[in-house]
Amino acid sequence: MDILSNLALGFSVALSPWTLMLAILGCFIGTIVGALPGLGPSNGVALLIPITFSMGLDATAALVLLTSVYYGAMYGGRISSILLNIPGDEPAMMTCLDGYPMAKNGRAGDALVISGVASFVGALLATVALMLIAPMLAQAAYLFGPAEYFALYLLAFSTLGGIASKNQAKAALASAIGLGIAMIGLDNQTGLPRFTGGNLHLMDGIDFLVAIVGLFAVSEVFVFIESHGKGSALGVKLGKITVPWRDIWETKWTMLRSSILGFIAGILPGAGASLGSFLTYMMEKSIAGEKGKFGTGVVKGVAAPEAGNNSAAGGALVPMLTLGVPGSGTTAVLLAVLMTLNITPGPTLFADRPEVVWGLIASLLIANVVLLLMNVPMVKIFVKILMVPPALLLPGVMMVSFVGIYSLTGSYFDLLLMIAFGVMGWLFRKLDIPTVPVILGILLGNAMEDNLRRAMILSDGDAMFLFSSPISIGLWVAAILGFVAPIFLRRIIKKPTVPDHAKPVD
Amino acid sequence: MISGDRLFGAVVVLGAGAYAAAALQLQTGFMSDPVGSKTFPLLVAGVSVICGLVMVIRPDDDPEWPTLRTLGALAVAVAVLAAYAYTLKPLGFLIPTAIAAGVLSYQINPRPMFAVLAGLGLSVGLFSLFKFVLGLGLVALPGG
């Protein structure tokens, strides 16, 4: 009954009028951000962090607002997938496959309602699972010493690089660049500056918020300047919205299965929501077989990826809250939120700051209900917002980025750095180098180095200490497998379908 | 034509070399731990060199690079934003924001009237939002 009393504590925090208002506001902004092509959960949250802090919200309030935006964006992504055939964010990609054909068949309203309900089921089940699993994992995390944490960080980098990207070298390079950037500034142990080139602005290191906003938001604007914001005209008419009860009932097992698989995909470090929606769609497609007609606009093809990606979004919070290791780009951004609020995620968070954890969980449950109400009867409002032309939207994004960072640090140097990170983000996207590992490197770099040094102090410089406990050996093995296995899997899986791309390079 | 991956890989190898050299120059404090402040940066540089070399030896297919004209447009955007960063403090929020937002809008969709309106609208709209709704301390005009 521990959980119930904790939950009661959570609701007592989350149900205060002020927090409730922030949750509703966050859901609304989040849905818009998710629906707009080019803005997804990670850059949406990234954009709002500096502004939230400049407003001086306390820890719980800021966290509630930003996680509501996160959940809202996961809901909103489906709107443009279905109506425009452009995923509003990456995890909503799979929803295009059946959502857009449904819309073309004149069932846009049905597709929006079913996907909204599927999102609700996925997110709700995931939040409940998070409630049950996270405290247990937090207990296990007490067994982690510096050597284990070092191996855990390595695991996060290697699976993020292994699963989420197409080229191992590029993913590893992105992590290394992030870690290298994290080293800039004063050395934690000796207090001496490193890699500052004598520049006083760099003494405190590079603020990760500057890097996040630059890489995620500013680079998006450059991408739009290059492409001139093509393909954002609304193609499908939306009729009257009715609730297709029969279809929803028919997809109940699909939603349930997808929620479970999505949650597991979300917990895995480096996998996150995109993998969740991909796996669930493939699973339902193979269960339904040929006569399932997946890809032609069937309801299960809309329900599965939406339940999957929303559930994965909840699952991704588990490693982030209990171990401080994010599993995806957006949870990396949420980790940045916690770090800025001076909250250290990990087992101690559950013991010392229960009001933060349980307030967060309670507000996720509330956000879910709010989002269901917003996304089914009020979906037309969001469809209107999709018609904002990119030539107005993207300059707006840029100006908000500038104001956010400027009001946070008040320094023109940080603004210049942010532009530089924006250019870097654009170049990396061109070269197909993932940007999420860069962020993860900047966020975790100092902690990773500290743990390595602490482990070596404990063992008096014996490197074998890193592999001395069963947990750390397990993590090292998982890290190496997670990095190497996809190289082989990719060849096996891709060869029969796309022979041209999978040709081994000799 | 040199592939983008090869070029970038080579730049990475050089950069990582410089980074490692800088790491080796670091002074060691008198209270040093077994690992010290050099080891981790050197490890990072080592990983970067390997990855850079892999990119040089086995580059992916080249992406579709923008035309010179588009590159020029991007350079203009970066220059405008840098100027914006420098002028935001001395000139206040309204004027630089209107100009920067207008230029960006024109670059995404070249319709002059729309761009002017977008610049003015965003400048005034965002200022009201930030100043009066969110309560951020922005300065509207020079000396104001």
CA gap B131, B137 in Å, rounded: 6
Q: Tokens for A141?
A: 């995390």
Q: Which chain A residue is nearest to residue B48, measuring alpha carbons?
A: A173
Closest CA to A126 of A311, A391, A2, A286: A311
| Residues A94-119, mean pLDDT to the nearest whole number | 85
105-144 of B, contacting A, C-beta below 8 A: 105-109, 111, 114-115, 118-119, 121-123, 126, 130, 134-138
| Same domain? B9 vs B38 | yes
Residue from the list B51, B82, B107 with its beta carbon closest to the beta carbon of A419: B82
Q: Mean pLDDT highest for which of A75-84, A100-109, B118-127?
A: B118-127
The dihedral formed by the CA atoms of B31, B33, B34 and B37, expressed in degrees to the nearest 10: -100
Q: Given B23, B38, B57, which residue is the final one in a domain? A: B57
| Residue B89, domain member (yes or no) | yes
Phi, psi of A194 (to 5 degrees): -130, 140
CA gap A281, A292 in Å, rounded: 12
**pLDDT of A503 strictly over 70:** no
Closest CA to A321 of A300, A348, A299, A295: A348
| Same domain? B80 vs B52 | no
| Same domain? B76 vs B126 | yes
Task: Give the residue with greater pLDDT, A464 vs A424.
Answer: A424
**A396 contact B CB<8A:** yes
| Same domain? B74 vs B103 | yes
A147 interaction partners in chain B (CB closer than 8 Å): none
| Same domain? B128 vs B91 | yes
**A380 contact B CB<8A:** no
| Residue A113, domain member (yes or no) | yes
Secondary-structure breakdown of chain B: helix, strand, coil percentages, each rounded to the nearest 5:
70, 0, 30
How many whole angstroms from its chain centre is CA A268? 13
**A464 contact B CB<8A:** no
CA gap A344, B8 in Å, rounded: 36
State how many domains chain B has: 2
| Same domain? B30 vs B50 | yes
Closest-CA distance, B135 to chain A, in angstroms, reads 7
Tens of pLDDT along A234-252? 555 666 777 788 888 888 8
Contacts of A194 (CB under 8 A, 6+ apart): A183, A184, A185, A186, A187, B23, B26, B37, B41
CA gap A212, A435 in Å, rounded: 9
Are the beta carbons of B97 and A389 separated by less than 8 Å? no
Q: Where are the beta strands (DSSP E) in A236-352?
A: none
Closest-CA distance, B114 to chain A, in angstroms, reads 8
State how many domains chain A has: 1
pLDDT of the residue at A497: 34
| Same domain? B80 vs B122 | yes
| Residue A177, domain member (yes or no) | yes
In this prediction, residue A505 has a pLDDT band, given cuts at 50, 70 and 90, of very low
| Same domain? B51 vs B82 | no
Where chain B has pLDDT below 50, the residues are none
| Residue A505, domain member (yes or no) | no
| Same domain? B40 vs B75 | no
| Residue B141, domain member (yes or no) | no
| Same domain? B78 vs B100 | yes
pLDDT of the residue at A88: 65
| Same domain? B97 vs B74 | yes
**A403 contact B CB<8A:** yes
Are the beta carbons of B74 and A426 separated by less than 8 Å? yes
Strands A193-194 and A185-186: antiparallel
A401 interaction partners in chain B (CB closer than 8 Å): none
pLDDT of the residue at A494: 45
Q: Given B13, B36, B57, which residue is the final one in a domain? A: B57
53-82 of B, contacting A, C-beta below 8 A: 54-55, 58, 60, 63, 65-66, 70, 73-74, 77-78, 81-82
In this prediction, residue A498 has a pLDDT band, given cuts at 50, 70 and 90, of very low
pLDDT of the residue at A301: 86
Q: In whole numbers, what is the pLDDT of chain A averaged over residues? A: 82
- The answer to whether B11 and B55 are in contact (CB under 8 A) is no
**pLDDT of A272 strictly over 70:** no
Are the beta carbons of A419 and B34 separated by less than 8 Å? no
| Residue B63, domain member (yes or no) | no
Residue from the list B23, B52, B97 with its beta carbon closest to the beta carbon of A399: B97
For the packed helices A299-315 and A252-267, what is the interaxial angle rounded to 10 degrees? 30
DSSP letters, A50-111, are HHHHHTT--HHHHHHHHHHHHHHHHHHHHHHHHHHSS-SSGGGHHHHHHHHHHIIIIIHHHH
Are the beta carbons of B122 and A396 separated by less than 8 Å? yes
pLDDT of the residue at A499: 32
In this prediction, residue A506 has a pLDDT band, given cuts at 50, 70 and 90, of very low
| Residues A274-284, mean pLDDT to the nearest whole number | 80
Task: Give the residue with greater pLDDT, A505 vs A76.
Answer: A76
Range of the domain at A400: 1-490
| Same domain? B49 vs B96 | no
| Residue B98, domain member (yes or no) | yes
| Residue B25, domain member (yes or no) | yes
Question: pTM of the entire structure?
Answer: 0.85
Closest CA to B22 of A192, A197, A450: A197
Range of the domain at B18: 4-57
Contacts of A499 (CB under 8 A, 6+ apart): none
Residue from the list A176, A183, A460 with its beta carbon closest to the beta carbon of B47: A176
Query: Which candidate in B80, B95, B105 is best for mutational testing of the A interface (most A CBs within 10 A)?
Result: B105
- The answer to whether A396 and A257 are in contact (CB under 8 A) is no
- The answer to whether A312 and A275 are in contact (CB under 8 A) is yes
List, as own/partner pairs, every contact residues A492-495 make where C-beta atoms lie below 8 angstroms and the sequence separation is at least 24, other chains included.
none
Query: Which candidate in A190, A220, A501 is best for mutational testing of the B interface (most B CBs within 10 A)?
Result: A190
Contacts of A471 (CB under 8 A, 6+ apart): A143, A144, A148, A151
Q: Scanning the structure block, which residue is given the tokens 């401080």?
A: A324
Q: Which helix (H) or strand (E) holds A151?
A: helix A146-164
Contacts of A391 (CB under 8 A, 6+ apart): A229, B105, B106, B108, B109, B111, B114, B115, B118
DSSP letters, A176-222, are HHHHHHHT-EE-TTT--EES-TT-GGGTT---HHHHHIIIIIIHHHH
How many whole angstroms from its chain centre is CA A326? 8
Residue from the list B26, B41, B104 with its beta carbon closest to the beta carbon of A395: B104
Number of Cβ pairs closer than 8 Å across A and B? 193
| Residues A44-62, mean pLDDT to the nearest whole number | 82
B7 interaction partners in chain A (CB closer than 8 Å): none
